[in-house]
Amino acid sequence: MLAGLASVATLPVAIFLTRFSDRYELLHAGFAIPLGGALGFLAIVLARRARMRSSVRLGDADASRLAGVGRLLGIAGVCIALSGLVSLAVYAILEYVGAQE
C-alpha cells in the first residue's frame, strides 16, 4: 500500500516543488514520471504477492483489503504516469510544430 501511495504522490509532489524553485521549471517535473510508473508497477506486484499469501492463510481479511487498496493505488499511479507521459508528448509535438513556422 505504501508503494501505491508513493506512486500516486510522486508526480504531484514533483510539480508542486517546481513552484518553489528558481532553477527548475514545470517541464523538469517530467523526470518524476518514470519513478511514479515504476512505483505503481511495484505496488501492483506487491499487492498480488500479498493476496497470494493471504489466500493461503485463512481469516486474514485485513491483509487482503490492504492488498486491494495497494493494487488500486498502484493502478492509479501508473495511470497518472501515463497521463504525464502523454502530456509531455503533446507538449513536444506542439513545440515542434511551433518551431517549423
Domains of the chain, by residue range, sit at 2-100
Alpha helices in 1-101 (DSSP H): 2-18, 33-56, 61-100
CA atoms within 13 A on the CB side of 57: 11
Mean pLDDT of all residues belonging to the chain = 90
Per residue in 52-99, pLDDT tens? Answer: 887 777 666 777 888 899 999 999 999 999 999 999 999 999 999 999
